[in-house]
Amino acid sequence: MSRTERALYFFGRPLVRCFYRVTALGLENIPAGGFLLLPNHITWVDAIVLQLACPRPIHYIIDQEYYYQPVLHPLLRTLGCIPINIRHSRSAIRAATEKIAEGEIVCLFPEGQLERTGVLLRLQRGYELIARHANAQVVPVWLDQLWGSIFSFQGGRFFTKFPRRIPYPVIIAFGKPFQGEAADNATVREELLKLGEFCFSRRPSLNRHLAEECVRGLKRRQFATAVIDGIDRSQLGRAKLLGAAAALSCYLRKNFSDERIAIVLPASKGSMLANLAVTLADKVPVDLNFTVGRAANESCCRRANLRVAISATQFMERIKDFPWPEHVLKLDELMPQLKRRIVFWWIVSILVPARLLLRLLQIPKVGGHREAVLLFTSGTTGEPKGVVISHRNVVGNVSQFRQLLDARESDAILASLPFFHTFGSTVTLWYPLIEGVRIVTYPNPLEAAKNAALIEQYKLTFLLATPTFLRVYLRKAEPHQLRSLRLIITGAEKLPLDLASHFEKCFDKKVFEGYGLTETAPVVSTNLPDPEPKKPGEHAQSSSRLGSVGRLAPGIAAEIRDSQTDQRLSLYETGMLWLRGPNIFEGYLDDPKRTAEVLHDGWLKTGDIGRFDEDGFLYIEGRLSRFSKIGGEMVPHETIESKIADLLGLSGRDERPLAVMGVQDEAKGEALVLLSAVDIDLAQLRSKLHEAGVPNLWIPKQIRRVEEIPVLASGKLDLKKCQEFAAEK
């Protein structure tokens, strides 16, 4: 190192440390000799922050457009930076190779540009040439928490933001080195995602109690509207909601020692209040699915040991065949009795700082891996399973969704999905409470005309739904009613491409597909609108890809493994999707056997067959339970359904017209049965499928005519009932 370089480091490091507090992890992974460093690229100051974490000088490969700028050139040359011309990169590769051979560290940002959405972009292949030409070791490195700093594009702009904290906390993790010949695109992406998860999972905020996050969230913008009830149009401010929930939480603490409390209400102001109150009381809210029938709810109440339920008189009259526990609290009767306490806590919540308020409410400092929410799966394949969601899971997933959505103060969400649905629970309940996003509730997502009227009246900007519910909007909503929406995301089931295009044609609104599971609390990935170019002709980074479910949320790592042997495959191959992150659930309630089947060393076996493309977009080919193994080949049911619907002109129907199921077959292990709600001639269907080039193994052997295809309240296919129909002799 030259004398000038030493002087720069001597004076520069203390100066930068005034603004950034850098925690370096994995320093033991740094090789003694020369190597190639590959970090993610979030801000304009990544190189400076990375140098703070690394004990040795780093030589950066920099686009020559910046290298030769008069203001920067003397400094960059002094620091030993290497200019590169993307079209003529040979000299830069040679210079980098020489530096590595001399035992120096060379750094290249493989994305080639700054991230505009805070998620890993496509990796350019230039680094592979350097790694192989130099026969060098490659070290992946992850820069965490820089998204949101004034030098990042968070909020749709660079620089024009106030710093959140000074010094700004940053975590930098160095991964284990591997040889240059192994540094292919898929491997480097996989390792970077794992480092991202490693850093994200160590954020101290993830260990907070969910109630603390809600209190801190509601304390911001206290006099703003928190929730509008779509039935009676009544509004509840954020401070009033906190005051009412605090009063109810004290009542619950005093009168009930139960660990869990059932909530039997549709999406509403009362349901939001009940969930918040139970959480403030340091108890576990269990929103029960009142649409699945008495037997299923009896099972849920028994397994969760539910003795207390919160509901309302009017709603109880509507669901008479419900197995109510011994204590039922009716909000319409109880809340008037707590009026004085509500006023007291409302005033306290306004005047008292958040830290003192948390002590007054006796909210624990740490939530961590303790149970925060208990959700029961929709039971598509059998009896509902109790999914234990921890404080860490909810807080983590809200944080992940926050970064993806990047909501504005003016944004507002239609909350019509029930809170017993994992999508409704995290995205339309806990996320708005913590982030301060206004919501408008409506108890039935199928009443599209009334939901559309609410969207128009309150100028709502986010619509979160399932494809089944979007079909109803096509019939019942007018285009002008959805004009205010800037983001429509679907989940829970696959989004048919014909539905997406039909919806866009009718409403001039693009539909974006996301992906999640109850076991992932639930958000895993989503497509998003592309960032708008700031200058004419500027290239915009794509944030969506047709047919995919988007890029992974921050802090989630992925592997693709063989569905039979669990052997690891490339991310770009098709196989079983495994995930790891702070949002992965704790296990199934009192069911260690099922838990062990899907959780291994922090990794979740999703049950979904998927693959990634080189830009990082995830494609879900279908659930393993929706494949049949015929003659040794995996045959996808959903692909066949889509092909048949297209050939027979059934794609645009409001209701699901058909479903493919597998039944046991002596000759080939399984055979396909087509359940159809319309009359179909098997011979004609086989002929059309042959003409379309569909393989023989993919053609159903039988057609079962049914009145309607069984679906659940969420819009998902009821696989258990479908299987019963298919197996009938």
Q: Domain-by-domain residue ranges, the chain?
A: 3-202, 210-530+545-611, 631-727
Residue 244 confidence class, pLDDT cut points 50, 70, 90:
very high
* pLDDT over 90 (residue 558): yes
pLDDT at 654: 64
Q: Could you give the CA distance from residue 229 to residue 333 in angstroms, rounded to a whole number?
A: 18
- Please, are residues 496 and 467 in contact by the beta-carbon 8 Å criterion? yes
Q: Could you give the CA distance from residue 22 to residue 25 in angstroms, rounded to a whole number?
A: 10
pLDDT at 483: 93
Residue 530 gets which letter from DSSP? P
The rounded percent of the chain whose pLDDT value lies above 70 is 90
Q: Could you give the CA distance from residue 210 to residue 231 in angstroms, rounded to a whole number?
A: 28
Question: What residues contact 44, with CB distance under 8 A and at least 6 apart?
Answer: 114, 151, 158
pLDDT at 15: 54
Collapsed DSSP state (helix, strand, coil) of residue 710: coil
Partners of 170 in beta bridges: 22
pLDDT at 565: 87
Most confident of 4-13, 222-231, 379-388, 619-628: 222-231
- CATH number corresponding to 210-530+545-611: 3.40.50.12780
When pLDDT is averaged across residues 309-334 and rounded to a whole number, the result is: 91
User: Which residue in 662, 659, 650, 664 sits closest to 705, CA to CA?
Assistant: 659
**Cα angle, residue 681 at apex, residues 676 and 687 outer, rounded to 5°:** 115
Return the higher-pLDDT residue of 121 and 568: 568
pLDDT at 83: 78
| Residues belonging to the chain | 729
Locate 417 and state its tokens. Answer: 């999905």
Mean confidence (pLDDT) of the chain: 86
pLDDT at 11: 47
Give tens-digit pLDDT for 428-442: 999 999 998 999 999
Locate 340 and state its tokens. Answer: 């004085």
When pLDDT is averaged across residues 66-95 and rounded to a whole number, the result is: 74
DSSP code per residue over 353-422: -HHHHHHHTT--S--TTSEEEEEE---TTSSPPEEEEEHHHHHHHHHHHHHHH---TT-EEEE-S-TTSH
pLDDT at 538: 58
With helix as H, strand as E and coil as C, how does 188-203 read?
A: HHHHHHHHHHHHHCCC
Residue 160 confidence class, pLDDT cut points 50, 70, 90:
low
- Please, are residues 420 and 289 in contact by the beta-carbon 8 Å criterion? yes
When pLDDT is averaged across residues 580-600 and rounded to a whole number, the result is: 92
* pLDDT over 50 (residue 507): yes
pLDDT at 285: 96
Indicate the range of 334-338, 488-492, 693-697 predicted with least confidence: 693-697
Residue 307 confidence class, pLDDT cut points 50, 70, 90:
very high
Give tens-digit pLDDT for 4-28: 555 545 545 565 666 778 888 999 9
pLDDT at 540: 64
Give tens-digit pLDDT for 284-305: 999 998 888 788 888 889 999 9
Give tens-digit pLDDT for 605-617: 998 889 999 989 9
Is 210-530+545-611's fold the same as 631-727's? no
- Please, are residues 519 and 387 in contact by the beta-carbon 8 Å criterion? yes
Most confident of 58-67, 71-80, 424-433: 424-433
Give tens-digit pLDDT for 660-706: 888 887 666 778 888 888 888 888 888 888 888 888 878 888 888 88
Single pTM value for the model: 0.85
pLDDT at 537: 58
- Give domain 631-727's CATH architecture: 2-Layer Sandwich (3.30)
